[in-house]
C-alpha cells in the first residue's frame, strides 16, 4: 500500500476515534500536570513486561551534572483513565492479543484497516494532540503482541521520545513567548543592526554587544544563583565546512575566553575538557545544524555548569551562526532551565522570516525611543 494513502487512512481513523471520545463537546480545559511526567495507562502485567524498554526510551538519564530523568513514568490502571484525561502527557499501551482492560480499550480505538497494519507490524504508534485537553499529547502504542511492541519501542525510541519533548517545548514556548514580557527595543535593535532577532525576556540584559566580533551576549537573572547566559555569534561569507566538532569547540572557547570573564579579568569560561561533549546533527528551524551538549567551567575550576549550542549555515545570508546557552545555577537541578534556554534559542529568526507587519511594529518602537530622546534634549 502507498505510504501516503496509508497515513491518510490512519489519520482519518484517529480523527474519527477522537470525535467519538470527545462527543460531549464543549470547551476543552488546559492540560495540567508536570511537564516531565508521562501518565501510562497499561495493564499491570503488560507494563511489567515493557517497563525496561519504556524507561530506556522515556526516562533516560541526563547529567546536568546531577543525574536527572528526561521524563518520569507513572502507571495508572485503565479504571483511572477519567482522572488522567486532563494531564499533559498520556501514554496508552495495548496488544491486539491482550485480554486486560487497557488492551481492550486500545483495540477498540483501531478500526479494521489500522488493526491489520498493527498485525502486520507496519504501524504501532499513533499520536493525538489536544484530545481531551488543550496542550495535550496522547500517544497510543499498539502491537500485535507485547514482544513485537517491545521491539518496536526500542527500535523507534528516539522518535518516541522526540514526540513528547516537542510537545513539551511547544507548551513552554507559549508561556515564554509572551508579548507582555518581551523587550521589544532590544529585539528591534538586533533585527535592524544585524538582520536577526531572538526573544528577549523582561529580566534579561544585553550584557555585551560587540559588532567587531559579531557577538551578542544576553544575560538573564544577572548576579543571582540561577543565571542563564545566551550568545549569538555569526561569521560573514562563511562556508558549511566550519560545521565540524573541532571548529565549533575552537570558536566557542575563543569567544568565551574573551567575553565570559570575571570583572578583574583573571578568570574566564572554557569548555570542560574532562567532561564528554555530545554532538548531534539536527534540524534546527529547517536548517541543518550541529547541536552540542556539554559542560563549561571557570578557568580556575571554581565552578561550572551545562551548555548547549546550535551551529548552522544560513544560505540566504551566507553566514555561519552559533547560538549558545549556558546555565550557572550550582544549587539547583538544571533540566528545566536547560529546556527553557533551548526553547529560547529556538525563537531565533532572520530578517527574511519576519513579516513586514511585525518588522514595522518593532521599528516603530525604536522611532518612539528616538522621539523621546529628542524631546529630552
Encode pLDDT of 6-22 as tens digits: 444 444 444 444 444 44
Same domain, 153 and 217: no
Same domain, 106 and 219: no
CATH of the domain at 260: 3.40.1000.10
Residue 358 CB contacts under 8 Å (≥ 6 apart), including other chains: none
Confidence of residue 178 (pLDDT cuts 50, 70, 90): confident
Q: Which of 152, 175, 198 is the last residue of a domain?
A: 175
What is the reported pLDDT for 6?
A: 46
Evaluate whether residue 265 is within a structural domain: yes
Same domain, 7 and 119: yes
Same domain, 67 and 53: yes
DSSP state letter for 290: E
How many domains does the chain fold into?
Answer: 2
Cα distances (Å, whole numbers) of residue 202 to 180, 182, 247, 333, 370: 9, 5, 33, 23, 21
Same domain, 158 and 283: no
Q: 195 in helix, strand or coil?
A: coil
Same domain, 251 and 116: no
Confidence of residue 180 (pLDDT cuts 50, 70, 90): confident
CA angle 32, 37, 43 (to 5 degrees): 105
Average pLDDT for 310-323: 97
What is the reported pLDDT for 221?
A: 85
Would you tell me the crossing angle of helices 356-375 and 184-194 to the nearest 10 degrees?
110
How far apart CA 334 and CA 328 sit, in angstroms, is 9
What is the reported pLDDT for 22?
A: 44
Same domain, 27 and 163: yes
How far apart CA 154 and CA 57 sit, in angstroms, is 7
Same domain, 244 and 111: no
- Show the cell assigned to 27: 470547551
Residue keyed to cell 522570516 = 353
What is the reported pLDDT for 372?
A: 53
Evaluate whether residue 102 is within a structural domain: yes
Encode pLDDT of 101-124 as tens digits: 999 999 999 999 999 999 999 999
Q: Which of 156, 175, 194 is the last residue of a domain?
A: 175
Q: Which of 175, 206, 225 is the last residue of a domain?
A: 175
What is the reported pLDDT for 364?
A: 95
What is the reported pLDDT for 27?
A: 86
Is pLDDT above 80 for 375? no
Q: Which of 202, 199, 204 is nearest to 219 (CA)?
A: 204
Average pLDDT for 152-174: 96
Confidence of residue 199 (pLDDT cuts 50, 70, 90): very high
Is pLDDT above 60 for 328? yes
Peptide bond into 65 cis (omega under 30): yes
Evaluate whether residue 376 is within a structural domain: no
Phi, psi of 178 (to 5 degrees): -100, 120
Average pLDDT for 60-84: 95
Query: Which domain covers residue 341, as residue numbers?
Result: 180-371
Q: 116 in helix, strand or coil?
A: helix
% of the chain surpassing 90 pLDDT:
84
What is the reported pLDDT for 117?
A: 95
Average pLDDT for 67-85: 97
| Lowest mean per-residue pLDDT among 9-23, 215-229, 352-366 | 9-23
| Lowest mean per-residue pLDDT among 147-151, 175-179, 264-268, 307-311 | 175-179
Cα distances (Å, whole numbers) of residue 224 to 65, 333, 341: 19, 15, 16
Same domain, 98 and 124: yes
Average pLDDT for 86-90: 98
Do residues 323 and 348 lie in contact, with contact meaning Cβ atoms separated by under 8 Å?
yes
Same domain, 112 and 205: no
How far apart CA 332 and CA 125 sit, in angstroms, is 35
Same domain, 89 and 201: no
Evaluate whether residue 377 is within a structural domain: no
DSSP state letter for 175: H
Same domain, 23 and 97: yes
Give the total residue count for the chain.
377
What rounded mean pLDDT belongs to the chain?
A: 91
Confidence of residue 370 (pLDDT cuts 50, 70, 90): low
Average pLDDT for 256-272: 95
Evaluate whether residue 138 is within a structural domain: yes
Confidence of residue 368 (pLDDT cuts 50, 70, 90): confident
Is pLDDT above 50 for 4? no
| Lowest mean per-residue pLDDT among 7-11, 117-121, 222-226, 229-233 | 7-11
Amino acid at each position: 500500500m502507498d505510504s501516503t494513502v496509508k497515513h491518510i487512512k490512519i489519520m482519518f481513523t484517529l480523527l474519527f476515534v477522537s470525535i467519538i471520545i470527545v462527543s460531549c463537546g464543549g470547551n476543552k480545559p488546559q492540560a495540567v500536570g508536570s511537564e516531565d511526567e508521562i501518565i501510562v495507562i497499561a495493564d499491570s502485567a503488560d507494563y511489567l513486561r515493557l517497563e525496561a524498554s519504556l524507561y530506556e526510551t522515556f526516562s533516560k538519564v541526563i547529567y546536568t551534572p546531577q543525574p536527572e530523568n528526561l521524563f518520569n513514568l507513572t502507571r495508572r490502571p485503565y479504571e483511572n483513565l477519567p482522572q488522567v484525561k486532563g494531564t499533559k502527557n498520556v501514554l496508552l499501551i495495548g496488544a491486539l492479543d491482550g485480554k486486560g482492560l487497557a488492551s481492550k480499550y486500545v483495540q477498540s480505538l483501531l478500526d479494521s484497516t489500522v488493526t491489520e497494519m498493527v498485525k502486520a507490524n507496519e504501524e504501532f504508534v499513533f499520536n493525538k494532540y489536544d484530545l481531551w485537553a488543550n496542550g495535550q499529547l496522547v500517544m497510543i502504542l499498539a502491537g500485535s503482541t507485547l514482544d513485537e511492541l517491545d521491539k518496536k519501542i526500542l527500535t523507534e525510541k528516539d522518535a518516541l521520545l522526540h514526540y513528547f519533548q516537542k510537545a513539551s517545548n511547544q507548551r513552554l514556548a507559549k508561556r515564554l513567548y509572551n508579548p507582555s514580557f518581551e523587550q521589544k527595543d532590544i529585539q528591534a535593535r538586533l533585527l535592524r543592526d544585524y538582520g536577526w532577532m531572538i526573544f528577549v525576556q523582561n529580566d534579561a540584559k544585553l550584557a555585551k554587544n560587540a559588532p567587531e566580533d559579531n557577538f551578542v551576549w544576553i544575560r538573564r537573572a544577572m548576579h543571582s544563583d540561577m543565571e542563564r547566559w545566551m550568545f549569538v555569534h555569526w561569521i560573514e561569507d562563511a562556508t558549511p565546512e566550519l560545521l565540524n566538532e573541532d571548529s565549533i569547540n575552537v570558536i566557542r572557547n575563543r569567544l568565551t575566553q574573551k567575553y565570559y570573564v570575571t570583572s578583574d579579568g583573571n578568570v574566564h569560561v572554557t569548555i570542560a575538557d574532562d567532561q564528554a561533549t555530545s554532538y548531534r546533527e539536527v534540524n534546527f528551524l529547517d536548517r541543518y545544524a550541529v547541536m552540542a551538549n556539554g559542560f563549561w567551567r571557570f578557568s580556575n575550576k571554581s565552578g561550572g555548569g551545562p551548555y548547549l549550542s546550535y551551529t548552522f549555515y544560513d544560505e540566504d545570508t551566507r553566514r555561519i551562526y552559533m547560538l549558545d546557552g549556558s546555565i550557572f545555577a550550582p544549587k539547583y537541578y538544571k533540566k528545566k532551565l536547560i529546556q527553557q534556554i533551548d526553547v529560547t534559542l529556538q525563537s531565533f529568526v532572520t530578517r527574511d522570516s519576519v513579516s513586514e507587519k511585525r518588522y514595522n511594529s518593532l521599528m516603530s518602537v525604536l522611532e518612539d525611543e528616538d522621539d523621546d530622546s529628542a524631546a529630552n534634549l
